[in-house]
Amino acid sequence: MLPQTWEDPAKKGYNGTSGDNDPLDVMEIGSKPFKMGEMRAVKVLGDLELIDQGELDHKIIAIDASDPLAARINSIAELKAAMPGVLDKLVEWLKMYKTTDGKGVNFLSSDTPKTATEAAAVIAECHASWKALKARGAGDTGFWLG
């Protein structure tokens, strides 16, 4: 997840869906695993819009800034060239991962990710939403904003 971001349920996205009331999710596609909760600098490559039970749940695609491939991958097109098949597997996983819990197949607004520039705009918007939430207090969101 990206700290200091919030998908505001009051903001409407794809087909009138609302934000999922969570920080932005990040899907890091680099070559090594990290510990749960570990903070890493990443390079943003794109954004997939998952529609999860009627809520918009952005999935920011990124690569760890220190990954050996990070210098060569700056876009979704370069990701496809440097790591063939990874994006297809990522899209398939996003669609199917909740079926193991007996839920239906997830829906994406598009199987083609938005660009890094468009993803950066989503991040900026969600950071602004987080700042506004912090300024007014968490209220009934269930978040602690210390």
What confidence tens digit (pLDDT) does each residue in 95-142 have? 999 899 998 888 999 999 999 999 999 999 999 999 999 888 767 667
Question: Mean pLDDT, the chain, as a whole number?
Answer: 92
Q: What percent of the chain has pLDDT over 70?
A: 94
Helical (H) or strand (E) element with 135: helix 116-136
Q: Determine whether 45 is exposed, middle or buried from the number of CB atoms within 10 Å of its CB (0-12, 13-18, 19+).
A: buried
Return d(Cα 122, Cα 125) in angstroms, integer.
5
Please tell me the least confidently modeled range out of 10-19, 22-31, 45-54, 108-117.
Answer: 10-19
> Beta 18-19 vs 55-64: how paired, if at all?
parallel
Side chain identity, residue 140:
D
Helical (H) or strand (E) element with 18: strand 18-19
pLDDT in tens, 30-39: 999 999 889 9
Place of tokens 């440097």: 82
Side chain identity, residue 112:
T
Return d(Cα 111, Cα 72) in angstroms, integer.
23
In contact, 106 and 51? CB cutoff 8 Å: yes
pLDDT confidence of residue 54:
84
With respect to CATH, is domain 14-111 assigned 3.90.1110.10?
Answer: no
Helical (H) or strand (E) element with 77: helix 76-82
What are the sequence ranges of the domains in the chain? Answer: 14-111
